[in-house]
Amino acid sequence: MYKTIYTEVEVDVDLTDFETDDLIEELESRGAGATEYGDGKEILQAIYEKRRLGKDYQTELEQLIYLGLGKVL
């Protein structure tokens, strides 16, 4: 006879143990990250437009940095 039991386990992991592409894929699957900006041209256009109009473009700039470097400030 078998029973299925669900439990939670807390595990410390070092994110450097994971490939960047795997982390990006996970973020995309959760609907997060800068994937909506494709190769970066769309986000550059958004930054340009906001800067030209004198609007805040800090969020887009941070997304561009993440898209290019894979790092978050």
Q: Which tens digits make up the pLDDT trace of 3-54?
A: 899 899 998 988 888 888 888 788 777 766 555 556 678 888 989 999 999 9
Rounded CA-CA distance 28/50 in Å is 25
Task: Specify the pLDDT at position 53.
Answer: 95
How confident is the model at residue 37, as a pLDDT?
54
7-12-15 Cα angle (round to 5) = 125
Residue 67 is predicted with a pLDDT of 79
The total of other beta-carbon atoms located within 10 Å of residue 57's CB is: 19
Tokens read off for 42? 């769309």
Q: How far apart are CA 25 and CA 34, in angstroms?
A: 11
Q: What is the pLDDT of residue 39?
A: 67
